[in-house]
């Protein structure tokens, strides 16, 4: 164990993972928040977009490791991230006494999809021969598409919701888009370096891909940690459950994009470039 900790590549990989999280939080998520405020997005839409944005580190970790032939690390990254995301959501809900609000029937669809997004990667870990199958990628993507179709039907925006009718602040929207573009460029560069270092760690040191995946999973869940606690802390004194709605949509969108979009992309990258 001490020999692993003395290896600079381990610390380089952890550092690059943290850099991805920083870029995501202070460029991509900040850009999306500006864009959301400028266009007065509805609570549900804002939560979902936030969930997709906080999954950017998982996208980087999964694609970069799959490109270098480490698809197992990407699968464990997705599984670990989804498990940690749900745990962080639960901790934040209990911390701010919002657990009772979360248990309402109208939120069952988001919770169901979030839990399904944990069961599926664990199943692929158990059935390892399925993990790199294009049929598995297709099935996961269909599950993601099902989420996109069913979620607005099962949990529609309430009638009389006037969000989204405020005039667009184009200056703020432009600043948000600029932050997003810079963040994407930073993510692409950092992600490539992360894949190279992870490849060296696995092949030179013999560290299992599972360990790499869990390390990345812990690091890449940091954006969810900050957003879950921030939203619940602001909304706990409110009379409605918009904070619960936003965080649940964040959780469901994050977990579903991890398993139904990001991991299938990882499979495609692995089959095209690494096999």
Do the beta carbons of residue 246 and residue 47 sit within 8 Å?
yes
Tens digit of pLDDT for each residue in 44-101?
788 888 889 888 888 988 999 999 999 999 999 999 999 999 999 999 999 998 998 8
- Residue 68 CA to residue 7 CA, distance in Å, equals 20
Tens digit of pLDDT for each residue in 144-180?
999 999 988 887 765 555 454 567 788 888 998 899 8
Taking the whole predicted model, whether its pTM rises above 0.75 is answered as yes
- Residue 48 CA to residue 243 CA, distance in Å, equals 13
């Amino acid at each position: 164990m001490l020999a692993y900790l003395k290896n600079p590549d381990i610390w380089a990989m952890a550092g690059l993972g943290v850099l991805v999280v920083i870029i995501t939080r202070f460029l991509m998520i900040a850009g999306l928040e500006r864009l959301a405020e400028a266009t007065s997005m509805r609570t549900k839409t804002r939560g979902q977009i936030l969930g997709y944005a906080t999954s950017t580190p998982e996208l980087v970790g999964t694609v970069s490791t799959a490109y270098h032939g480490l698809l197992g690390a990407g699968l464990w990254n997705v599984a670990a991230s989804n498990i940690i995301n749900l745990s962080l959501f639960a901790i934040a809900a209990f911390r701010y006494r919002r657990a009772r609000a979360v248990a309402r029937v109208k939120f069952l669809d988001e919770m169901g999809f979030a839990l399904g997004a944990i069961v599926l990667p664990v199943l692929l870990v158990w059935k390892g021969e399925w993990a790199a199958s294009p049929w598995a990628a297709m099935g996961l993507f269909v599950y993601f598409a099902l989420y996109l179709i069913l979620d607005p039907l099962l949990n529609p925006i309430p009638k009389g919701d006037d969000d989204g009718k405020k005039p667009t602040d184009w200056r703020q929207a432009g600043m948000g888009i600029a932050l997003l573009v810079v963040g994407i460029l930073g993510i692409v560069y950092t992600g490539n370096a992360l894949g190279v270092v992870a490849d060296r760690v696995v092949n030179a040191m013999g560290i299992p891909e599972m360990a790499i995946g869990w390390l990345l999973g812990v690091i890449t869940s940091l954006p969810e940690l900050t957003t879950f606690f921030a939203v619940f802390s602001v909304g706990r004194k409110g009379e409605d459950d918009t904070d619960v709605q936003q965080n649940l949509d964040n959780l469901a969108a994050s977990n579903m994009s991890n398993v139904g979009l990001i991991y299938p992309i990882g499979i495609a990258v692995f089959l095209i470039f690494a096999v």
